[in-house]
Amino acid sequence: MGNSEVGAKLVDDALASGKIYEDEGFGYIKESFANNTLHLIGLMSDGGVHSRLDQLQLLLKGASEHGAKRIRVHVLTDGRDAVDGSSVGFAETLEKDLAELRGKGIDAQVTSGGGRMPTHWRSLVQDIEVLVVNSSALGNSKVMTPETLLSVNIR
Cα–Cα distances in angstroms (integers) from residue 57 to residues 1, 68, 154, in the given order: 24, 14, 28
Could you tell me how many residues make up the chain? 155
Looking at the chain, which runs of residues are DSSP E strands?
A: 38-44, 70-77, 107-110
Distance CA(104)–CA(139), nearest Å, equals: 43
Which residues on adjacent β-strands are paired with residue 77? 44
Q: Is 4 a catalytic residue?
A: yes
C-alpha to C-alpha distances, 73 to 79, 112, 119, 126, nearest whole angstrom: 18, 8, 12, 17
Per the residue annotation, which of 4, 17, 32, 151 is the catalytic one?
4
Check: CB of residue 50 under 8 Å from CB of residue 43: yes
Active site residues: 4
